[in-house]
Chains A and B, each alone.
Chain A
Amino acid sequence: EVQLVESGGGLVKPGGSLRLSCAASGFTFSSTWMSWVRQAPGKGLEWVGRIKSKTSGGTTDYAAPVKGRFTISRDDSKDTVYLEMNSLSSEDTAVYYCTADQTLGGVIVHGYWGQGTLVTVSS
C-alpha cells in the first residue's frame, strides 16, 4: 500500500524558514517523480513544484510564487522528499501535500497524496 507521510509543519514567523519532509513507502521511490501541492485556507489547490527521479535527471521545477525561495530535494536512501521553504510570508500559510506522480495514458498525474501538513506563517 502506498503511503506518504508529511511532517515538519508548524508555526513560523514571517521571514523565517521551515523544512517539510515526506516519507514514502509501498512503491519504488527512487524511480518516482515527486511533487508538492498546497492549499491555503479557503483557497484552491496550488501546484508548488516537483523533483524528477535521478534517472530522469533529478531536476526540479517550481511555481512562480515560490521560485527562488523554495527548494525540493530527495534522499532516495531514505525514501524521503523534502521541501525547504525560506523567506516565508503569510501568503505561504497552507496545508502542504506531498504527491507521488504517475504516468497514466502518457500524462503525468498526482496519483498518490499524503494527508498534508499545515504551515502557518504568523508573528
Chain B
Amino acid sequence: DIQMTQSPTSLSASVGDRVTITCRASQSISSYLNWYQHKPGKVPKLLIYATSSLKSGVPSRFSASGSGTDFALTISSLQLEDFGTYYCHQSYTAPFAFGPGTKVDI
C-alpha cells in the first residue's frame, strides 16, 4: 500500500506570509495527488486535484505542484480564513490514503 507523509506537522504563520506544505508518497503516484482543507467542526473541503488544478471557487492564492513522489501546496499570502489542517491524498491506486496532515495556525 502507498504511504503518504507530510511536513511540517504544524506551522504558525502571520497574515500575508507565504506558506508551503510538502507531501511525499512512498512510491510514484504520477499526478494523482489531491489537497483537502479541514477546519474544526466543518466538513473537509477539496482545494486542489490532479496535483495542481484548483477546484472552482478556491482562491487563487492556493497553488500546488509536483509529480511522481514529491508534491507541495503553497499559499502565497496567508489569510485569516486559511487556518485549519491540510491533507494530501493519493488516488492513484486503492487503497487510497491521506497524509497525516499539516495544521496551520495564524
Contact = CB atoms under 8 A, between A and B. Distances in A.
Q: Do A and B bind each other?
A: yes
Q: How many interface residues does chain B have, given as a range? A: 20 to 34
B80 interface: no
B44 A107 contact: no
Given A47-B96, A47-B98, A61-B95, A104 B44 contact: no
Contacts of A46: 98
For the complex, would chain A's binding face be called helix, strand, loop or mixed by DSSP majority?
A: strand
How many chain A residues sit at the interface, stated as a range, is 20 to 34
Interface string B32-58: 111010100001101001100101000
Given A44-B101, A45-B101, A50-B96, A108 B91 contact: yes
29 contacts: A37-B98, A44-B87, A44-B99, A44-B101, A45-B36, A45-B38, A45-B44, A45-B87, A45-B101, A46-B98, A47-B95, A47-B98, A50-B94, A61-B94, A61-B96, A62-B95, A63-B1, A64-B1, A104-B50, A105-B50, A107-B32, A108-B91, A109-B46, A109-B89, A110-B36, A110-B46, A113-B43, A113-B44, A116-B43
Interface of B: 1, 31-34, 36, 38, 43-44, 46, 49-50, 53, 55, 85, 87, 89, 91, 94-101
